[in-house]
Amino acid sequence: MKDKIAEKLLLFIAFSAILSLLLITFFIFQQGIPLIFKVGLSNFFSTHWAPTRGNFGILSMIIGSLMVTAGALVVGIPFGLACAIFLAEFSSPPIQKTLKPIIELLAGIPSVVYGFIGIVILVPFIREHFGGPGFSVLAASIILGIMILPTIVSISYDALLAVPNTYREGSYAVGATKWQTVVMLLLPAARSGIVAGIILGMGRAIGETMAVIMIAGNALKIPHSMLDSVRTLTSTLALELGYATGDHRAALFACGSFLFLIIILLNIIAIKITGRK
Can you tell me which of 73, 87, 155, 251 binds another protein, judged by CB under 8 A?
Answer: 87
Residue 180 CB, shortest distance to another protein, in Å, is 6
Alpha helices in 90-136 (DSSP H): 93-108, 111-117, 123-130
- Strands 55-56 and 49-50 come out as antiparallel
The Cα diameter of the chain in Å comes to 73
Window 119 to 138, contacts with another protein (CB under 8 A): 119-121
Can you tell me which of 59, 63, 66, 176 binds another protein, judged by CB under 8 A?
Answer: 176
Can you tell me which of 50, 70, 74, 112 binds another protein, judged by CB under 8 A?
Answer: 112
Quick check: 221 and 230 in contact, CB under 8 A?
Answer: no
Can you tell me which of 31, 47, 96, 192 binds another protein, judged by CB under 8 A?
Answer: 31
Window 200 to 219, contacts with another protein (CB under 8 A): 200, 203-204, 206-210, 213-214
Can you tell me which of 103, 161, 219, 222 binds another protein, judged by CB under 8 A?
Answer: 103
Identity of the residue numbered 33: I
Q: Which helix (H) or strand (E) holds 6?
A: helix 2-14
Interatomic CA distance for residues 260 and 30, integer angstroms: 13
Q: CA 112, 140, 138: angle at the middle one, nearest 5?
A: 150
The residue (of 21 and 50) whose beta carbon lies closer to another protein is: 21
7 binds another protein (CB under 8 A): yes
15 binds another protein (CB under 8 A): yes
Window 39 to 78, contacts with another protein (CB under 8 A): 78
The residue count for the chain: 277
Residue 108 CB, shortest distance to another protein, in Å, is 5
Can you tell me which of 53, 93, 102, 277 binds another protein, judged by CB under 8 A?
Answer: 102
The torsion of the CA quartet 122, 205, 84, 155, rounded to 10 degrees, works out to: 160
Among the listed residues 25, 9, 5, 8, the one whose alpha carbon sits nearest the alpha carbon of residue 263: 25
Residue 224 CB, shortest distance to another protein, in Å, is 26
Q: Which stretch binds another protein (CB under 8 A): 47-55, 101-109, 161-169, 187-195?
A: 101-109
